[in-house]
Amino acid sequence: MGIQERVRSGREILLTFDDGPDPSVTPAVLEALREAKARAVFFVLGKQVEKYPDLVRRTQDEGHIIGNHTYTHTAYGRFTLFEYLEDVKRCQEAVAKVLGRSPTYFRPPEGRLTVGSLSVPLLCGLHTMYWSLDPRDFSLETSEQANLCADQLAAQTRPGDILLLHDVNPALPRVLARLLPQLRERGMDSSESVKRLESRTPYQK
Ligand SMILES: [Zn+2]
């Protein structure tokens, strides 16, 4: 079985960002996190890693963890088990080329629980991490929508939550600029969770 990582104590939450790195969004996301002194997990796509290796390095250098989100973002179901395995491995290799080691954490595209999404990570030594809050940030277009999303998400977030966000939508930095201070005011902390994940070997050879 894949392991659903849970955030355990106090007011810990975990911020996660999928589908990047994206040259027009990821730098602003990193900036927002830096300002809020918040750490996160970035589930990257291998094809993006190959295009923007510097962004992956920067993300790691700024204290965040890099996780595997497959190479092409094709969900199992549209791939055979073997193709899915190859897609996951290809992302491992793309990250290893940049960081010298490959991830331990994995998030399946579309997050579906399937034979492939459960068995393939195990074969690759990966732990699967799902989420508990999905604000559907990829659909945000206007700044009003971004602000509303931030306020709703801030109100919904409870200790232990894992937030699913995507560092590919240009509206996301605005969401974070409004969300992170609210979370901080309520004592919600993502950095402690990242430290905990780090202590459990977030990378393998
Ligand atoms: Zn995704």
Q: What is the CATH number of the domain that holds 94?
A: 3.20.20.370
Candidates 156, 165, 159; CA nearest to 131 is 165
4 has a pLDDT exceeding 50: no
Q: What is the pLDDT of residue 3?
A: 44
Q: Position 150: which residue type?
A: A
Catalytic residue among 64, 69, 127, 166: 166
CA of 109 to the centre of ligand 1 (A): 5
| All residues at 6 or more sequence positions from 86 whose CB lies less than 8 Å from its CB, including other chains | none
Q: Which two tokens stand for residue 34?
A: 């830096």
CA of 18 to the centre of ligand 1 (A): 5
CA of 107 to the centre of ligand 1 (A): 8
Q: Is residue 66 part of a domain?
A: yes
Domain count, the chain: 1
133-161: per-residue pLDDT in tens? 999 999 999 999 999 999 999 999 999 99
Residue matched to tokens 């074969």? 123
Q: Is residue 3 part of a domain?
A: no
96-138: per-residue pLDDT in tens? 999 999 999 999 998 888 888 889 999 999 999 999 999 999 9
Catalytic residue among 18, 22, 137, 161: 18
CA of 24 to the centre of ligand 1 (A): 17
Residue ranges making up the domain that contains 192: 14-204
CA of 69 to the centre of ligand 1 (A): 7
Q: Position 63: which residue type?
A: G
Is 18 considered catalytic here? yes
Is 166 considered catalytic here? yes
CA of 100 to the centre of ligand 1 (A): 24
Q: Is residue 19 part of a domain?
A: yes
45 has a pLDDT exceeding 50: yes
Q: How confident is the model at residue 9 (pLDDT cuts 50, 70, 90)?
A: low
**Beta-strand pair 14-18/162-166:** parallel
Full-model pTM: 0.93
CA of 101 to the centre of ligand 1 (A): 22
Q: Which two tokens stand for residue 51?
A: 């295009």
Q: Is residue 4 part of a domain?
A: no
Q: Is residue 8 part of a domain?
A: no
